[in-house]
Amino acid sequence: MAWSIAEVARMSGVSSRTLRHYDEIGLLAPAFMGGNGHRYYEEAGLLRLQQILLMRELGLGLREIAAVLASQVDQVAALRAHQSRLLAERDRLDVLARTVGRTIAELEEEKETSDMEKIGKPENLFTGFDTDRYEGPAHEQWPGQAEQSAQFAATLTEADQERMQREATAAMVRMAEFMQAGTPVTDPAVQAEVDAHYEGICRMWTPNAAAFKALGQNYADDAQWRTTYDQIADGLAAYQRDAMVAYADARLS
């Protein structure tokens, strides 16, 4: 059985334009071309498209995907490897979701008691975070600032770290409240929160406008950071990014 490019686009959610691009770069060729000039795909093509989409979800680029597909011999083994990665990512996101859910509950309880001691163990705020993954890119993109940040972190006591962790979580919740109330990112109250965020970063290194925008974009683009923000409120990562862009344009440019 064969399916037209339009049918494959409908089933997969991948646009016909993207499917044609995959064909042009040799990533996913149709089984044959019809007399009408349209591409047609058979079952093998649909299975290959599924693998492509799985690897895209895992963050691989098209060149990396092509290399992986070119090296594969056993399709079942390849799919099992993809499944293993997806299950590992699911488990990590489950941990993050529980971490944020616990923080929200404890912060709501803290509002009633006005006592930050209700937050429990501060390290629980960051269960599931893989912070090591950012050290390499940070050193490559901002080597001087990354070294400055590392030196600052080395001076922090355990009490300092606990206080900063609590402050960061509480700030995310306040931003979520602004977003859910429909407050524009340019509102003075929102910008005051961003200013506090910027000043906190400046204790470690001083980003210029471009670097501060890039940091905000990372919150929205990186799967781990985006999930962290959006588990508090859907769309919070993009809201935080937009607020940081507005701040950078107004205060840092």
Read off the pLDDT of residues 113-167 as tens digits, 9 standing for 90 and up. Answer: 544 444 444 444 444 444 444 444 444 555 555 555 555 556 667 776 676 777 7
pTM of the model: 0.45
Q: What SS3 state is found at 224?
A: helix
Q: Quick one: average pLDDT of 229-247? A: 90
pLDDT at 78 over 90: no
Q: What SS3 state is found at 3?
A: strand
CA 170 to chain centre: 20
In this prediction, residue 154 carries a pLDDT of 61
| Token digits of residue 41 | 């795909």
Domains present along the chain, CATH in parentheses: 3-72 (1.10.1660.10), 94-252 (1.10.490.50)
CB 197 within 8 A of CB 203: no
Q: Quick one: average pLDDT of 217-229? A: 85
Q: Quick one: average pLDDT of 220-248? A: 88
In this prediction, residue 125 carries a pLDDT of 45
pLDDT at 33 over 90: yes
Q: Which of the listed ranges 56-65, 68-77, 92-101, 139-148 does the model predict with the highest average pLDDT?
A: 56-65
Using pLDDT thresholds of 50, 70 and 90, give the confidence band for residue 228: confident
CB 249 within 8 A of CB 212: no
pLDDT at 42 over 90: yes
Q: Quick one: average pLDDT of 82-101? A: 73
- Distance separating alpha carbons of residues 248 and 253, to the nearest angstrom: 6
CB 8 within 8 A of CB 14: yes
Name the nearest CA neighbour of 170 among 95, 92, 118.
118
- DSSP-assigned states of every residue in 43-85: HHHHHHHHHHHHHHHTT--HHHHHHHHHH---HHHHHHHHHHH
In this prediction, residue 250 carries a pLDDT of 94
Q: Quick one: average pLDDT of 166-172? A: 81
